Amino acid sequence: MDERVKAFVDGLVAAATLNPGATRDRTWELFLDVDDERSRVALLAMYDAAMRVAMEHTEADGGDVEGLIGAIAADKCAFAFFEAMDDQERVDADEFQRVVRREVAAGRMGADDPAIFGEAAVTVLRTQRDELRRRCGGSAAH
């Protein structure tokens, strides 16, 4: 695992307070910079735990929980899209589906996360692509 990720996670665990905005910003900064799955999974696990705490505190303080939930869902979807990019420009559909399934299995995504719809769309796209290739004799372009 990337040492910066380890230090960040260790620092959050040891911290007396949680700043959700700063946590989000640093998570994204590291997520965009590291390229190994183990580090990214550690960041996603930490992000998920930190945002759950932030939601509990926001709710207890009477804050805008729905706004926070929406922002977290958008982040999770964006994390999955970024991780599935093959050249930081195109999303690899198979990799996106793998990442979403990994996140669902880990409990960091659920039925209400926007990425779930993207994952379902991948299945539809793959079926349609395969059908087009079959009809065209395997010569259909990507």
Q: How many domains does the chain have?
A: 1
Q: Can you point out the beta strands (E) in 60-134? A: none
The answer as to whether 141 is a domain residue is no
The answer as to whether 96 is a domain residue is yes
Query: Using CA atoms, how far apart are residues 45 and 79, in angstroms rounded to an integer?
Result: 12
The answer as to whether 37 is a domain residue is yes
The answer as to whether 102 is a domain residue is yes
Domain range for 10 is 3-135
Tens digit of pLDDT per residue, the chain (142 long)? 999 999 999 999 999 889 999 999 999 999 999 999 999 999 999 999 999 999 999 999 998 889 889 899 999 999 999 999 887 778 888 899 999 999 999 999 988 888 888 877 777 777 787 888 888 876 555 5
The answer as to whether 140 is a domain residue is no
Single pTM value for the model:
0.82
The answer as to whether 20 is a domain residue is yes
The answer as to whether 110 is a domain residue is yes
